[in-house]
Amino acid sequence: MKLILEIIQSGTAYLEKRKIEEARLNMEHLLAHVLHCRRLDLYLRFGESVPEPDLVKLRDLLKRRGEGEPLQHLLGTVEFCGHEFVSDHRALIPRPETETLVEMILKKCPSAPARVLDMATGSGCIGLSLAKAWPLSEVVLADISEDALDLARLNASRLGCNVKFLRSDLFEKITGTFDVIAANLPYIPTAEIPTLSAEVQRDPILALDGGPDGLRIVERFLKDALAHLNTGALIALELGHDQGAPVVTLCTELGYLNASTAADLAGIHRFVFAVAPQRVVPEEAVAEIDEVAGIE
């Protein structure tokens, strides 16, 4: 039987040969997963041996990681905003950048909004994190993918969140208005998808492909969102590294107020925030309200 330190060293070398970034960190996570302990606990157990059955499990995971399967899929979960989310092939892997988006939304809303929408929810990481922070808010999680919604339902159950789920192509089946709408939409130009890392290419294509310029879905989202935003409501988007400025321009052209970008921890302005203009009630809706009230 091999010692833990020897296993970490040999596994790290194996992943380095296969161009896996942060090879040692990956190896430590995999070994800790197999041994059912914390990664840092390994440093106190370097001299211990690992039973052969555990080595068999580890070799399989190591091979799959070397072939580009995401670490989060192999571990089965990922931490996001202090909560543990199940992560698999059904949705994008929750990433640290998106944690920053959630933190910024919470800072911009000092009091809990009445109604919140997480569009293209995927694993549910944005909407469920907001639901945990705002337990009295009505939170709706929407996605075009039933597989993604199943994963979000699983995460909601694990976190004890009482939220609503809706399968919808953007706002196709969305009703009512919201005080906050957040979205991490597909924004990668179609031609760039084959150039992405092996890990990212394991994500659902539906969650990646933003059309020829990467902004086809974002544009449709911003146009349709106006009918579902209360006056002064916040809209928050995560985008590609070079898409912030053009999306701010688009927001302004569509009538949004105070549109601006914000940077992630790496200094990349990938977030766009904007405020909904004064809500205009359609004339037919006003007529219906007047009729009900007996004005006519």
Q: Which residues fall in the annotated binding site for S-adenosyl-L-methionine?
A: 143, 184
Question: Residues within the annotated binding site?
Answer: 143, 184
Q: Considering just the CA atoms, what is the radius of gyration of the chain in Å?
A: 22
Question: Quick one: CA dihedral 127, 131, 137, 138, positive or negative?
Answer: positive
Burial class (CB in 10 A: 0-12, 13-18, 19+), 267: exposed
In a 3-state reduction of DSSP, which class is residue 236? strand
C-beta separation of 217 from 186 below 8 A = yes
Pairwise CA distance, residues 59 & 30, whole Å: 10
* Residues 146, 165: Cα–Cα separation, whole Å: 10
